[in-house]
Amino acid sequence: MKKIKVIPRTRIVIIPTLKGLNLLLIALVINSCSYKKINPGPECPPLAGGGFVVESHTERSAQEVMQQVQLQPDYPGYFDYNDMFHGAETQVAGNGLSLYPVAHDVVRYISTDNNGNPIVLTGLLIYPWSSFKTLNTPIVSVNHGTCLLKRLAPSRWKTAKWSDWKNFPEMLIADVMAVCYGWTIIMPDYQGMGEDTTENHPYCVRERLAVATADMMQGAMEYLKCNRNGYVQWNGQAFLYGYSEGGFVTMAAARELEERNVNLSGVVCMDGPYDLSGTMLTSMLGDKPFPVPYFLPMLMVGYNTMYPASYDYSDMLKEPYRTDIPKYTTGFYDETVVNGIMPSDKILKKIFTDPFYDSLKSVTSKAHSILFDNNAYLGWVPKSRMLLWHCQNDDCVPFGNFVAAKDRFTTLGLTNIDYVEWPAVTPDPSGGTIHVAVAPRAFYEGSLWIYSQTKKK
């Protein structure tokens, strides 16, 4: 892979296409090599609820972002992250020929913990900047997917090793959105992540994740609508966007924000486990191996945290899982470790005691009803424009999640939802899961959809 060539003492950067095609000359507005603070606008009123406080600040040039792109695997003839980033780059070339440097602000904001009590949560604010003017931008909440390690929550990425970028591309996706499209991105850590190190992550617990995300979105809206930042000001458009657990969070947060009467410009839900008590439960109780067994320990720990009476470890789990799952699913062990404590044949149901297995199968049990109550697509009627996108042969988050949500929304007669049933794909050449292999395509299609909505203002 060729490296980016920067012509010294000029504002022109030559960036090769990421697939080894012809060189693309982009007029890159570098603005300066360092962040030059523009004075904020007129004095703003105090932020409601204690605010949205910037804790630390770093910058990345467009060149650095593109260098990190090059860390991603590049598979000729296969749609990967290089293709996604090249597609965004090409859009820039046809839309003004400018790329922005980006700033990363680690922020703290007021939300609630797993018990519903006030807590300071953390997240990341990413935005393009210019030393010449304040940019008017939409806000896009990029809600991250399953992350087993607390140290890799968005707010912690300033200390992440470059080698980590290969495994968690959502951070780079957010950077590219800011660099290429000029959007302001927020990335909530969620409860139990970032600086909230004493709690467990409430994995796929709808209300908790929705509140954390909605609170950060509203905090960002208020912070940026009064030009407190000085470099970017909110233009009134707000989007939610997520894949996998991030898709689940996005749908849940859309419901929460609509209940708060917050207007959303668009919601992008991609390959999310919306149907916990149906499609996902079938996978948990089935006889087939599950490609990423860590899904179930994450779910069991999250539900034990939130519903200890119905998801008690002693009642749920056989040994050694009763000991190992709480011990290793803490946010300090990676997926290799957590997968390693699960059955070697990857059949998930083997961890359950017989009585708990039976209770999950019974629609009248408390354990089953809790899963049902956490289904992201039930209990509300979406008002916002939405893209519901799913790959037909996703092997980790089965297509049934999409079918369940689409069937309900169609029954409600909704016309504000765009449905995309992406054709079956093959695993990428690394031999990973289809769920991981199709993610670059999903992220790309979702970003194009948001881009189309931003032009409707």
Query: Is the pLDDT score of 6 beyond 60?
Result: no
Q: What is the pLDDT of residue 5?
A: 28
Identify the residue whose tokens are 């695997």.
Answer: 73
Which of 202-216, 261-275, 428-442 shows the lowest mean pLDDT across its residues?
Answer: 428-442
Q: What is the pLDDT of residue 95?
A: 59
When mean pLDDT is compared over 32-36, 164-168, 449-453, the highest value belongs to 449-453
Show the beta-strand stretches assigned E in 246-377: 266-270
Query: Is the pLDDT score of 40 beyond 60?
Result: no
Reported as a pLDDT band with limits 50, 70 and 90, residue 32 is: very low
Question: Which amino acid is it at 257?
Answer: L
Tell me what the mean pLDDT of segment 400-405 comes to: 98
Tell me what the mean pLDDT of segment 214-222 comes to: 96
Reported as a pLDDT band with limits 50, 70 and 90, residue 292 is: very high
For strand 12-16 and strand 23-27, is the pairing parallel, antiparallel, or unpaired?
A: antiparallel
Q: What is the pLDDT of residue 86?
A: 83
Query: Is the pLDDT score of 28 beyond 70?
Result: no
Is the pLDDT higher at 398 or at 12?
A: 398
H/E element, 313 = helix 313-316
Query: Is the pLDDT score of 185 beyond 70?
Result: yes
pLDDT digits (tens, 9 = 90+) for 370-393: 999 999 999 999 999 999 999 999
Reported as a pLDDT band with limits 50, 70 and 90, residue 427 is: confident
Q: What is the pLDDT of residue 2?
A: 30
Q: Which domains does the chain have, with CATH numbers?
A: 5-275+376-454 (3.40.50.1820), 276-373 (1.10.260.160)
Query: Is the pLDDT score of 1 beyond 70?
Result: no
Q: What is the pLDDT of residue 131?
A: 81
Q: What is the pLDDT of residue 35?
A: 52
Which tokens sit at 1?
A: 């892979």
Query: Is the pLDDT score of 117 beyond 90?
Result: yes
Query: Is the pLDDT score of 10 beyond 80?
Result: no
Identify the residue whose tokens are 């999409």.
Answer: 402
Tell me what the mean pLDDT of segment 342-367 comes to: 98
* ω into 320 cis (within 30 of 0): yes
Q: What is the pLDDT of residue 374?
A: 98
Tell me what the mean pLDDT of segment 288-296 comes to: 97
Task: Of 156, 81, 1, 29, give the one whose Cα is nearest residue 437.
Answer: 81
- 8 A C-beta contact, residue 174 and residue 142: yes
Reported as a pLDDT band with limits 50, 70 and 90, residue 365 is: very high
Identify the residue whose tokens are 């957010």.
Answer: 174
**SS3 for 228?**
coil
Tell me what the mean pLDDT of segment 237-263 comes to: 98
Is the pLDDT higher at 36 or at 78?
A: 78
pLDDT digits (tens, 9 = 90+) for 192-207: 999 998 999 999 999 9
Tell me what the mean pLDDT of segment 407-413 comes to: 98
Task: For residue 399, give Cα distances in angstroms to 271, 289, 293, 295, 441.
Answer: 8, 17, 18, 17, 16
Q: What is the pLDDT of residue 166?
A: 67
The span from the CA of 456 to the CA of 303, in Å, is 41
Q: What is the pLDDT of residue 85?
A: 84
- 8 A C-beta contact, residue 191 and residue 114: yes
Mean pLDDT (the chain, rounded) = 87
For strand 23-27 and strand 5-6, is the pairing parallel, antiparallel, or unpaired?
A: unpaired
Which of 1-10, 200-209, 216-225, 435-444 shows the lowest mean pLDDT across its residues?
Answer: 1-10
Is the pLDDT higher at 53 or at 70?
A: 53
Angle between helices 354-361 and 366-373 (to 10 degrees): 50
Reported as a pLDDT band with limits 50, 70 and 90, residue 36 is: low
Q: φ and ψ at 254, to 5 degrees?
A: -60, -45
Query: Is the pLDDT score of 263 beyond 80?
Result: yes
Reported as a pLDDT band with limits 50, 70 and 90, residue 12 is: very low
Tell me what the mean pLDDT of segment 222-233 comes to: 88
Q: What percent of the chain has pLDDT over 70?
A: 86
**SS3 for 370?**
helix
Q: What percent of the chain has pLDDT over 90?
A: 69
Tell me what the mean pLDDT of segment 425-435 comes to: 88
Which tokens sit at 24?
A: 């693309």
Helix ranges restricted to H, 79-181: 81-93, 170-176
The upper half-sphere exposure of residue 379, i.e. CA atoms within 13 Å in the direction of its Cβ, equals 16
Tell me what the mean pLDDT of segment 301-317 comes to: 98
When mean pLDDT is compared over 58-67, 131-140, 146-155, 232-241, the highest value belongs to 232-241
Query: Is the pLDDT score of 278 beyond 60?
Result: yes
Q: What is the pLDDT of residue 39?
A: 55
Neighbouring residues of 403: CB distance < 8 A, sequence distance ≥ 6: 279
Q: What is the pLDDT of residue 27?
A: 33
